[in-house]
């Protein structure tokens, strides 16, 4: 099978929504969709995945899922996307059995059954309930029961929505009942532990409903259609400005492994450059002994030492997630610098270095805590001109010939003076100055954004997600 995989790599172009002719074709299409979602699996990983299928078989899909994940995934933050695509390509939706329209009594009964299933951790019953909830509560446009007497087609606008099913079922209101059904707690600690476990089981139920909705939608519109439009992005591809709280929580978990990877890259780069650059003047002088042939090059002594880093971050609500993640990443990388100082601003500027403790894991709400306890806001609306002037007036001595300056923000000034002279004074004093902007570059000249003006005085990089931020930080780290 592994040999056959290599032979059908060219079969994917032109294939649209027809089912795969064999498991080999299905695997090749699956790997192609992984690449489209930023999971870079090459021919060798595909062959390993084929060998895993042969070794594990198809009977146990959970075991197959783990085997393919082990062979195809390389980075943290990719498993959620992998699981969604795996469900589409290796699972099938169960046939609909219920033809009854939903009514309040049946919903109440369904909620009671859900409490019982989750309290007893009966996964089979919970999966069956997820399918029933979607059937009775999640159909729209003729896809739900009791709404259409004929076959459902794509043109009819029909589909399945896990949001509609969960909205009608309101499972988040059942946490206390689920905890009570798990037995009498021994104390407050036991109650807390059971509440956490109840939330975990409820999250699994939500995932089961979403998976079933995705599978049924794939039956209506085709697997590739849903795979391209109905699969959530991996954590490192989610835009900072559009990230939800659960996305930001996952990003925080990426800080430590990402910092380790960047530090490893930097160490390798330093090893390669340890010998220094060629000194052309001394090399040519030494070549006089060999008739002008530079047989023995002379290298300049490499200057050792690590630069200082100053970070100036916009902590206003629109870019809080981006600033918080980047500040935590920089703090995790502080061993690469001789000194790291962090400053925050909204409409005034204040030093916030003390809010970050090296070696401690990041905590949620850091930016909000800084805003409450530091002098970073006076009126609460972003004012880049005033913030830059505040830095120049109070902290300009933090910049010097060994300092790299990193500014984080979307450069939206609320139509106030951008204060280019202050930015120029900061750039002139620092050795390097960079601006990381979480907005797409096409938006830098729209509305109240002064990014296109600032970009004339400082090197500005687009950093919309973790992947782009990683690439930029890798280039900017000291060598």
Q: What is the C-alpha separation between 115 and 177, in angstroms, rounded?
A: 7
pLDDT in tens, 298-309: 777 665 556 789
Q: Report which DSSP code applies to 157.
A: T
Q: From edge to edge, which strands make up the β-sheet containing 432-437?
A: 349-351, 339-345, 308-314, 403-408, 432-437, 459-462
* pLDDT class of 55 with cuts at 50, 70, 90: very high
pLDDT in tens, 382-418: 999 999 999 999 999 999 998 999 999 999 999 999 9
Average confidence (pLDDT) over 440-449: 92
Per-residue pLDDT for 52 more than 50? yes
CA angle 92, 97, 99 (to 5 degrees): 130
The more confidently predicted of residues 266 and 276 is 266
DSSP string, 290-327: GTT---S--BPPPPP---EEEEEEE-SGGGHHHHHHHH
The more confidently predicted of residues 233 and 324 is 324
High-pLDDT (> 90) share of the chain, %:
25
pLDDT in tens, 75-105: 777 888 888 888 887 876 555 544 445 455 5
pLDDT in tens, 18-35: 444 578 888 888 898 888
213 within 8 A of 138, measured Cβ to Cβ: yes
Q: How buried is residue 77: exposed, middle or buried, by Cβ count under 10 Å (0-12/13-18/19+)? A: buried
| Phi, psi at 394, each rounded to 5° | -115, -25
Question: Which tokens hold the place of 330?
Answer: 């920089």
Kindly report the pTM of this predicted structure: 0.68
pLDDT of residue 425: 95
Sorted by sequence, the CB contacts under 8 Å of residue 3 that are 6+ apart come out as none
């Amino acid at each position: 099978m592994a040999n056959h995989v290599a032979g059908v790599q060219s079969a994917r172009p032109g294939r649209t929504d027809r089912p795969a002719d064999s498991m080999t074709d299905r695997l090749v299409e699956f790997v192609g969709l992984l690449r489209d979602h930023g999971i870079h699996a090459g021919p060798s990983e595909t062959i390993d995945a084929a060998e895993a299928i042969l070794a594990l078989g198809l009977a146990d899909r959970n075991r197959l899922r783990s085997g393919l994940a082990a062979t195809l995934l390389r980075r943290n933050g990719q498993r959620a996307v992998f699981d969604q695509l795996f469900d589409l390509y290796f699972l099938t939706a169960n046939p609909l059995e219920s033809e009854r329209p939903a009514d309040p009594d049946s919903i109440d009964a369904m909620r009671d059954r859900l409490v019982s299933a989750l309290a007893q951790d009966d996964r089979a019953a919970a999966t069956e309930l997820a399918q029933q909830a979607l059937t009775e509560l999640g159909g729209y446009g003729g896809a739900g029961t009791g709404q259409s007497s004929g076959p459902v087609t794509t043109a009819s606008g029909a589909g399945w929505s896990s949001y509609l099913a969960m909205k009608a079922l309101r499972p988040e209101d059942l946490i206390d009942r689920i905890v009570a059904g798990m037995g009498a707690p021994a104390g407050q600690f036991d109650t807390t532990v059971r509440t956490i476990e109840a939330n975990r089981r409820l999250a699994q139920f939500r995932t089961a409903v979403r998976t079933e909705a995705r599978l049924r939608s794939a039956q209506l519109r085709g697997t590739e259609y849903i795979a391209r439009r109905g699969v959530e992005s991996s954590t490192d591809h989610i835009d900072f400005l559009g990230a939800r709280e659960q996305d930001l929580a996952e990003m925080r978990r990426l800080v430590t492994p990402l910092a380790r990877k960047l530090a490893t890259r930097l160490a390798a780069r330093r090893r390669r450059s340890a010998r220094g650059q060629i000194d052309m003047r001394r090399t040519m002088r030494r070549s006089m002994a060999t008739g002008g042939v530079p047989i023995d090059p002379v290298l300049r002594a490499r200057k050792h030492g690590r630069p200082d880093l100053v970070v100036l971050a916009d902590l206003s609500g629109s870019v809080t997630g981006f600033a918080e993640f980047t500040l935590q990443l920089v703090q995790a990388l502080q061993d690469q610098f001789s000194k790291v100082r962090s400053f925050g601003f909204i409409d005034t500027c204040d030093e916030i270095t003390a809010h970050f403790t090296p070696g401690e894991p990041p905590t949620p709400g850091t930016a909000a805590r800084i805003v409450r306890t530091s002098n970073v806001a006076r009126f609460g609306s972003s004012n880049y001109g005033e913030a830059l002037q505040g830095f120049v007036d109070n902290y300009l001595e933090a910049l010097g010939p060994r300092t790299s300056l990193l500014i984080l923000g979307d450069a939206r000034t609320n139509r106030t003076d951008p204060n280019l002279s202050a930015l120029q004074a900061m750039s002139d004093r620092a050795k390097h100055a960079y601006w990381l902007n979480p907005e797409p570059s096409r938006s830098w000249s729209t509305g109240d954004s002064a990014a296109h003006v600032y970009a004339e005085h400082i090197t500005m990089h687009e950093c919309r997600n973790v992947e782009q931020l990683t690439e930029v930080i890798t280039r900017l780290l000291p060598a």
